[in-house]
Structure 1
Amino acid sequence: MATVAAVAAVTASLAGCSSDDKSSSDAKGSTTTSSAAAVTAPAPTADTLQSVLTAFADPAKPAADKAKLVVDGDKRLGNIDTMNQGLAHYQVGFAVGEIKQDGTKADAKVSVTSPHGTMPDVPMSFQYTDSAWKLSDAGACTILGMARAACQ
């Protein structure tokens, strides 16, 4: 947990919503737009987000299972394997605090507890995809960085 600087360097940004212009030249785009607009994300609860974080940091879970907890997680399999090795005999806990949702994205303040102490208010980002709340790539990289398996 000595990589507090890595945590401080991680920032999450939310993309703004664009307007839904209806024009005759939008025949192809209207299907995509209406599909994206049809996705309604339920409000994430602290318990839901905490369970994602706990499962992601569980050294007994295979990397392939953990990759499913992350948006585009397959690209982080090597990092997750490294984290699993480092966490083999190391307990990490999470307490999710303030959650701010913007459509299918959510940011939360998370307290991370380890044998070295507690880091309060670590910014963590999530995304609602495939009918579930998942860690965003940036959120996963925050945890991976703490476990000395930093994203590149």
Structure 2
Amino acid sequence: MHLPARTLRLSRVAAAAVAAGALALGLTACGSDDDTGTAATSSVAATTGESAHDHGDGHDHGDTADAPTAQSLQSNLEQITNPDVSVDDKVNLIVDGEKRRDLLEQLNAKLQTYRGITYQVADVTVDGETATAQTTITSPTGHGAPPMPMTWQHQDDTWKLSDAGACVLLGFAQIPCAHV
């Protein structure tokens, strides 16, 4: 689908607002019938926390998790926005993903005709169980949002996209994401 230039400009403005920390609902997606696209390249500068953390949840978390690579975080995003990946798998890629199951089903349906979203993840920093990386999202038409910080949480021995990060992706697909 091709959207009017005004809509495309609005999507960039909305993405910039997200990048500035104003998570807005109903971000406008850039659309195309083009199903081509390649994975963006990644770079990383990682730092890690120094000590074990007591999360107060009764579990011994031991040392801080190994820092994720930019490529592993990028792969997480690519899996979430790949319509060939089942919703059952996607709920395990997002913090509290089961609570977003119905929205992920909507996302998979929309992505059937909107393939080729790419990501560039860079400047990964880790603070305890939270990783933050500058992330650039580019539509299949080549329109991209400015780099924005996205976060992942270390859970169940893996790095999962934060709920707020999932809401950003859902917002680009024009799927409202009420905070749960």
- Global fold match (TM > 0.5): yes
Instruction: Note if contact 1:96-1:108 (Cα within 8 Å) is conserved in structure 2.
Output: yes
More helix by share: 1
Question: Aligned to 1:144, which of 164, 170, 176?
Answer: 170
Q: Secondary structure at the match of 2:145?
A: strand
Question: Aligned to 2:145, which of 109, 119, 123?
Answer: 119
Instruction: Note if contact 2:16-2:145 (Cα within 8 Å) is conserved in structure 1.
Output: no
Q: Which residue is equivalent to 1:52? A: 76
TM-score, scaled to structure 1: 0.79
Q: Secondary structure at the match of 1:120?
A: coil
> Gaps (5+ residues) in structure 2?
1-7, 25-50
Compute the RMSD of aligned alpha carbons: 2.5
Question: Aligned to 2:128, which of 103, 106, 109?
Answer: 103
Spell out, residue by residue over 1:47-93, the C-alpha distance to the aligned partner (whole angstroms, 9 max, x if none).
11011000001011111110100011000011111111111121211
Q: Secondary structure at the match of 1:98?
A: strand
> Gaps (5+ residues) in structure 1?
12-16, 21-28
More strand by share: 1
Q: In the TM superposition, what is the alpha-carbon distance from 1:140 to its structure 2 partner?
A: 0.8
Question: Aligned to 2:65, which of 41, 63, 70?
Answer: 41
Provide runs of 4+ in structure 1 moved above 3 Å. Answer: none
Question: Aligned to 2:99, which of 62, 66, 75?
Answer: 75
Aligned residues, how many? 135
The one-letter amino acid paired with 2:92 is K
Radius of gyration: which is bigger?
1
User: Percent identity of the aligned residues?
Assistant: 41
Q: 1:120 to 1:48 in 2, by over 3 A?
A: same
